[in-house]
Structures are given as C-alpha cells and as structure tokens.
Amino acid sequence: MRIATWNVNSITARLPRLLAWLESTGTDVLCIQETKCSAEQFPRDELRELGYESAVNATGRWNGVALLSKVGLEDVVSGLPGGPDFEGVQEPRAVSATCGPVRIWSVYVPNGREVDHEHYAYKLRWFEALKGAVAQDVAGGRPFAVLGDFNVAPTDEDVWDPAVFEGATHVTPAERAALATLREAGLSDVMPRPLKYDRPYTFWDYRALAFPKNKGMRIDLVYGNEPFAKAVKDSYVDREERKGKGASDHAPVVVDLEI
C-alpha cells in the first residue's frame, strides 16, 4: 500500500502534474495540503476518472486540505475537533478518514508567520489541539498516521543552514516542543535516515535559486503509530517532482507499507 503527502500549493495550478504523478506512481492514498480552492471547485471528477474518492475540507483561496483514496473513504471527519479559531474562523487545516486498513489524517499546520505574531501563538494552540484530537486513533490497534505540512523542521539537520533560520519560525524550541508532543502521544517520524538523498528536504523557496542550490527544509512529515511504523517498508521524498516548470514549492513524501 502506497501512501503519500504533498503540499501542492494550489490544486488548480498543479492539476495536470498531480494527475500524471498519481497515474505514474500508483499511489493508493494521497494527503493534499494548500488546495487553495473551495470544496465546490475541487476537481473530484478528474480524480474519480483515475479511481480516487475525495474527502475535502476547503473554503476558498487560502489553506485547504484533502484526502484522495483508491481503497475507500469511511468515517470522514472534516476539521480539527476542538481546534482553535484564528480571527474568528476555524481554518480548513485537517481532514481524516479510514482508507482500507489504515486511519489517515491530512494536516496543514499554521505557518506561524513571525515569532511575535498572533499566528505563532495560534500555531502552538493548534498543535495542542491536534495532540488531543488524535489520541484515540493513536491508541487503537490499527495502523494510523498523521501526514502533511507541519511547518516545523524537527531538528537542525532538517534545514540547509540553521544559522539562516535563527530567530525565525519553523525552528524555534517552542515549535519543536509542540511537534515532540505528538511523539509523546505515541506517534513517531517514520522516515528513516539516510533516505535516498543526503539531505532529504521537502520544501524549497521559489526565490534565489533555492531548489537548484538545495537550500531547503524538511517540514512535510509522516508521523505514525506503532502498527503503522512497523508496516513501513520504504519511504522517500520524490525530489524529481519539484523540478521543472509549474512545480509546487514542496515535493511529495511517499511511504510504502506492507499491509
């Protein structure tokens, strides 16, 4: 079973590449972030032609998450139960479903913007709500994972130059501690080291030739419970999909399970 996560940075802009990638990789379940469209605009018909059902939590031009599955979509939950609002709105940042034998969450954790910004405090509250919301699924006996854009680099090894990020979001002790609470809850980062690249980043800014220079960050993660982690047989960052015209600024992260 092949499960992946990909921040597409607009599903409308990325649709031709997304369809081609799904067809070529044989992915069974894909978690998508930053759909940047409403639920009504989501390309369900095009995806259905490839055999995918869609669960979508999206409201417009910002944020938006989805789950695509060729192995079924049951017990769909749209949104983060108990999640905080930002400026009076609960943003579309989470969707979960049972896909065949696996329970999956697709999440797009708030960016945080700047350390002294209200969005940063919101990010930390969002992580706390996520920990509580997944507790029951983590403890269950079936394989379970949270995949998505976490907007946190877990360690200094996950950024191209720690000095460049000093004092900025994505690497602060508070954010990393918030991510660590998921590990305390029974989830672990299932991506082994080394991967197929010495520095398996998942995001490279569009500016300043960041991708050709490999000035990236690993912020797209797969956190699974013990039954999920034990089933993982391979995992990789599909760096090739970051190349070329019309690419997202994120690359897909792929996990193969023997299940």
**How many CA atoms within 13 Å lie on the side-chain side of 60?**
4
Q: How confident is the model at residue 192 (pLDDT cuts 50, 70, 90)?
A: low
- Average pLDDT of the chain to the nearest whole number: 95
Burial class for 184, CB neighbours closer than 10 Å (0-12, 13-18, 19+)? exposed
Which residues, other chains included, contact 170 with Cβ-Cβ below 8 Å and sequence gap of 6+? 112, 151, 152, 153, 159, 217, 219
Angle at 175 between CA 171 and CA 178, to 5 degrees: 145
Q: Residue positions in the annotated binding site?
A: 7, 34, 149, 151, 249-250
Among 239, 220, 244, CA closest to 7: 220
Q: Does 62 score more than 90 pLDDT? A: no
Q: Which of 28, 149, 158, 220 is catalytic?
A: 149
Whole-prediction pTM value?
0.97
Closest C-alpha to 57, from 76, 82, 85, 29: 76
122 annotated active-site: no
Q: What is the pLDDT of residues 90-149, one digit of tens each?
A: 999 999 999 999 999 999 999 999 999 999 999 999 999 999 999 999 998 999 999 999
pLDDT digits (tens, 9 = 90+) for 72-83: 999 999 999 999
Active site annotation includes 119: no
Q: Which of 28, 52, 108, 201 is catalytic?
A: 108
pLDDT category at 197 given cuts 50, 70, 90 is low
Question: Can you tell me the distance from the alpha carbon of 113 to that of 119, in angstroms, rounded to the nearest whole number?
Answer: 6
Beta bridge pairs of residue 256: 2, 234
Please give the domain boundaries of the chain with CATH numbers for all domains.
2-257 (3.60.10.10)
Residue 194 has pLDDT above 90, yes or no: no
Split at pLDDT 50, 70, 90, the class of 200 is confident
Can 108 be counted among the known catalytic residues?
A: yes
Measured distance CA(103)–CA(80) in Å, rounded: 15
Q: What is the mean pLDDT of residues 7-20?
A: 98
- CB 210: neighbour CB atoms within 10 A? 17
Summarize the annotated binding site for Mg(2+) as residue ranges. 7, 34, 149, 151, 249-250
d(CA 252, CA 236): 9
